[in-house]
Amino acid sequence: MGNCCALLKSIMGFATEEEHDGRLPKQKKVKVVFVLGGPGSGKGTLCAKIVEQFGYSHLSSGDLLRKEIKAGSEHGTMIQNMMNEGKLVPSDITVRLIQKAMQETDNDKFLLDGFPRDEENVRTFEKLTKIEPDFILFLDCPEEEMTKRLLSRNQGREDDNIETIKKRFRVFQESTLPLVNYYASKGKVRKVDAARPVEDVFESVKTIFSSANEQGA
């Protein structure tokens, strides 16, 4: 089992404490792109198109959390309560779900949709996976447009009601946007105007991913 975990970690590029001491062989590199933007900015929609064209695997942290609720897992009720309040689920839970999904996916390129949402998400992800994102795709969209989209999303999501939407916007402003600004200061953010029709937004996104491919990023 220990060996199996070590193998998985080495495939995924995850580093253990020993590896960090430089005692184990060099790891295979995993490409990770964080896809960020407010609720309803089009993250899930754009990720599906990026997968088709650029061969990434799409992991939505919101979807992984909703699966936990559906499966009636240990933390299911707590996750549901937090999501219905528009609050962020403790990072340990979210990051472990992402990590497990990455380990179970036979690919070395991942879009993390809606992750990270706050600084604690980032710290936990770095601690558990040792992965640095290649870049951050940021879908910039005004709240008015996002509200319209969320209220007509029609996916039966309990958090797509106006009260919860307002709370989610606040979390985005207070916890996620500062992260985007932090990554922008490191030159890692690729921002697109997401208030346009999907095909137009995707044109901008394609340019970004094509150029990332060329640079081997």
Ligand X SMILES: Nc1ncnc2c1ncn2[C@@H]1O[C@H](COP(=O)(O)OP(=O)(O)O)[C@@H](O)[C@H]1O
Ligand Y SMILES: Nc1ccn([C@H]2C[C@H](O)[C@@H](COP(=O)(O)OP(=O)(O)O)O2)c(=O)n1
In the complex, the residues that contact Mg ion under the rule CB under 5 A are 43-44
Residue 58 interacts with ligand Y (CB under 6 A): yes or no: no
Distance, CA of 212 to CA of 217 (rounded, Å):
5
Candidates 14, 36, 42, 94: give the one binding ligand X (CB under 6 A): 42
Give helix 43-54 / helix 198-214 axis angle, nearest 10°. 50
Q: Judged by CB, which is closer to ligand Y: 19, or 122? A: 122
Residue 31 interacts with ligand Y (CB under 6 A): yes or no: no
Q: In the complex, what is the shortest distance from the CB of residue 15 to ligand X, in angstroms, rounded to a whole number?
A: 30
Candidates 31, 58, 117, 190: give the one binding ligand Y (CB under 6 A): 117
From the list 71, 51, 46, the residue with the least C-alpha distance to 205 is 46
Other CB atoms within 10 Å distance of the CB of residue 148: 12
Q: Judged by CB, which is closer to ligand X: 42, or 133? A: 42
Residue 168 interacts with ligand X (CB under 6 A): yes or no: no
Q: In the complex, what is the shortest distance from the CB of residue 45 to Mg ion, in angstroms, rounded to a whole number?
A: 8
Q: Which residues share a beta bridge with 190?
A: 137
Question: In the window 197-216, what residues touch ligand X (CB under 6 A)?
Answer: 197-198, 201
Answer for the pair 98, 116: CB distance below 8 angstroms, yes or no.
no
- How many residues make up the chain in this entry? 217
Q: Which residues share a beta bridge with 36?
A: 138
Q: In the complex, what is the shortest distance from the CB of residue 166 to ligand Y, in angstroms, rounded to a whole number?
A: 12
Question: In the window 103-142, what residues touch ligand X (CB under 6 A)?
Answer: none
Beta strands in 19-79 (DSSP E): 31-37, 57-60
Binding site for ligand X (CB under 6 A): 37, 39-45, 149, 153, 197-198, 201
